[in-house]
Chain A
Amino acid sequence: MSSDFYKTSILPFAAIIIKICRAYTNTQEDFEDYYQEVCLQIWRSKDNFREQSEWSTWIYRLSLNVCLTLLKKKKNKYQHFASDYIPVELAEDNRAFADEPLNQLYDAIRQLSEVDRGVILLYLEEKSYQEIADIIGTNPNNIGVRIKRIKERLKRLFDGKIN
């Protein structure tokens, strides 16, 4: 990957990748691995970008796909050694943002299902229902209901944590 490509095409969108990778990992080490893998896949797949969507939307989709794949690989790897594997949602996050409510929100997001994590991240990034559906690959009609349910669950998780 040339450093020019990284600087011009990835770094301006690094926030997207960081936000997504944080939701699918619970250690700094995993986070860095996921971030690097996403960047590598963006670079490798750049020629497949058809300009049918925004570059940022494409990055969202690719980041989510890479994170979901890595998570699946990790689960498969540990499925025979169940005692060694701590699911993301159960493991304590050893990183911290300076903003405490944001930490708590991320803790709550990490307890959601893998797909719900993607949906809520896109919602928080102010993506339209249509864009969320396009990225996740679902029907836009279901997105609104799904988001409502996720927000209720998050509220319960969030309140539980505070209380």
Chain B
Amino acid sequence: MEKSIEIIWKEGFLNKDALVAPKLNDLYNQKSKHIIDKYMRMFKINLVAIVVGSLILLPGSFLIGMPYMGVPMFFILNAMVIVDKRLLGELKEIDNNITSYEYLKTFDKWIKRKIIVNTRMARILYPYTFIAILMGFWFINEDGNRLGETIVTKLIENYPDIYLIFGIPLTGIIGALMIIGILTFFGGRIYRWDMNLVYGRVLRKLEEIISDMEELRS
């Protein structure tokens, strides 16, 4: 080596062309694309998991003798998938040619709309699931009798003065109605908690990028 590394370093950078800073331009486009791709990927995996789950649940429920749970659950889960698939379709229609800020804002609006739609659905889904499970157990065949009726018979034997409505104990009806009421009331919150658990990190990142870009634009 003829020159020391120190001299090569100094002389090399005497030429100012060696230190031309690149333009700051594409970073946010790449970040936006990355974050949206990540969300879409997770969302699609989630939908596939629900469909696969419902396809296992349906024959499985017949096998364990709980078709009254399996069939309604199969329908509600697939109804959810259809609604979400439509929402996903709307997302794909967003014009890619708009600026990354506009794209992110549109995506953010879409997410908020999805959360509103899914929150409404969750208020039905959770009580519906509870009713389906209840029906599943009620209609389990036990020695030729329905499990629910067997339980009621035993209850009447032990508490002969129990008040019945259409052959079902009133306390049981009140208890079930209370659970349904609670699930309807908290369904939206449960969904938001669930959503935050799965997508929280991506959504926070999205908010962070939007806020950065807003600061940039101001």
Contacts and interface: CB of A to CB of B under 8 A. Distances in A.
Contacts of A39: 24
A104 B11 CA distance: 13
B22 interface: yes
Contacts of B159: none
Contacts, number: 71
A18 B12 CA distance: 13
The interface size bin for chain A is: 20 to 34
Contacts of B13: 15, 19, 102
B24 A1 contact: yes
A101 B17 CA distance: 15
A36 B22 contact: yes
A39 B23 CA distance: 11
Contacts of A2: 215-216
The interface size bin for chain B is: 20 to 34
A132 B119 CA distance: 54
A146 interface: no
A33 B9 CA distance: 24
Contacts of A33: 27, 30
A70 to B, nearest CB: 12
A11 B21 contact: yes
A102 B19 contact: no
B48 to A, nearest CB: 21
A11 B21 CA distance: 8
Interface string A43-69: 010000000000000000000000000
Nearest to B22: A32
A35 B22 contact: yes
Nearest to A39: B24
Interface string A3-33: 0001000010011011100000000000111
Interface string B190-218: 00000000000000000000001001100
B90 interface: no
Chain A contact residues: helix, strand, loop or mixed: helix
B27 A36 contact: yes
Contacts of B12: 97, 99, 101-102, 105
Nearest to B23: A32
Nearest to A28: B22
A128 B17 CA distance: 27
Contacts of A6: 24
B157 interface: no
B92 interface: no
A15 B19 contact: yes
A81 B13 CA distance: 37
15 contacts: A14-B19, A14-B21, A18-B20, A32-B22, A39-B24, A99-B8, A99-B18, A101-B3, A101-B8, A101-B11, A105-B8, A105-B12, A154-B5, A158-B5, A159-B1
Interface of B: 1, 3, 5-6, 8-9, 11-13, 15, 17-22, 24-27, 30, 212, 215-216
Interface of A: 1-2, 6, 11, 14-15, 17-19, 31-33, 35-37, 39-40, 44, 97-99, 101-102, 104-105, 120, 124, 151, 154-155, 158-159, 162
